Amino acid sequence: MDKWEPVYLATHRRGLLQAKIDAAYDILNQCHLCPRNCLVDRHHGERGLCRTGDRPVVSSYSPHFGEEDPLVGKHGSGTIFFTHCNLYCIFCQNYEISHGGEGEEISVEDLAAMMLILQKRGCHNINFVTPSHQVYQILAALPLAIAGGLHVPLVYNTGGYDALETLRLLDGVIDIYMPDFKFWDPQVAKDLCQAEDYPGVARVALKEMHRQVGDLVMDEAGVARRGLLVRHLVLPRGLAGTKECLEFLAREISPHTYVNVMGQYRPCGRAYEHPALREFLTAEEHAAAQRLARDAGLTRLDRREKLFRWL
């Protein structure tokens, strides 16, 4: 068996991790960590759209078996679910956490301990869910976790609304990127999450993520070690722009991109405010989206229908 280790260990040994932590710390002085560019001082009590300061805010942490098979393996994905979000989609299926702020402010020491607890429980990776606004906190906790023996891959499980500068700080830190590619149409993004620039930002982010980690690579047991895994939630009436999103992935990223064409949309949160979002996705709509993925030339589609979501 070949010797493998997560990329952040080499970055730490080379003395490069602290510079990334320092750079992320400085960004929070006038926060432009994400594309919202709130420019608030998060070190001194100011709060931007994400409503988060410079300490971690976590809703839950646990082995999770509802993720994609390459993350779950036999022992689960070690999910750390961050509170709040930088998108606030009106239909969010974790509305109480992202919009409602369900969670607790903790220390970076606590965050490092969570990583180590999940690893000790056998989880194949540490899966940071909705991390875009808490990148500094993740980086600050990582040396403590490494000192405690952390050695599993890190998963950046994001909505896809990520600043290029921030992603470049994560180069050499994150092993597996798992972004959503939510919308193709800027007007839809404006209507559903007040982020008209989302489609363009996400396309740039996807390219940068793939540049860093490449196509998804798995070990002999089918567990992900490194690479890009993209989620696309199919919305009723074609609202997400599924055809265009999938064609972009095949043409501009890689036809070997591992893609989960997700069919579990249901009305949540404030979905009732948009006529199309009041509906459930039909089986026919999901099947049509799967065909679009194959027609686009994508060769690695996640085939397990999800029976539940993290709540």
Average pLDDT per consecutive 10 residues, the chain (311 residues; last block may be shorter): 86 98 98 98 97 97 95 96 96 90 96 98 98 98 98 98 98 98 98 97 98 97 97 96 98 98 93 92 95 97 57 29
**Which CATH number fits the domain 7-301, given the four candidates 3.30.450.20, 3.20.20.70, 3.40.50.10420, 3.10.129.10?**
3.20.20.70
Give the pLDDT score at 21.
Answer: 98
Give the pLDDT score at 311.
Answer: 29
Give the pLDDT score at 71.
Answer: 97
Pairing verdict, β 104-105 and 57-64: antiparallel
C-beta of residue 129 within 8 angstroms of C-beta of residue 77: no
CA nearest neighbour of 240 among 84, 94, 89: 89
Give the pLDDT score at 309.
Answer: 36
Q: Using alpha carbons only, how large is the chain's radius of gyration in Å?
A: 18
Give the pLDDT score at 182.
Answer: 98
Query: CA 184: distance to chain centroid?
Result: 18
Give the pLDDT score at 303.
Answer: 79
Give the pLDDT score at 3.
Answer: 82
Give the pLDDT score at 304.
Answer: 61
* pTM of the predicted model as reported, rounded to 2 decimal places: 0.95
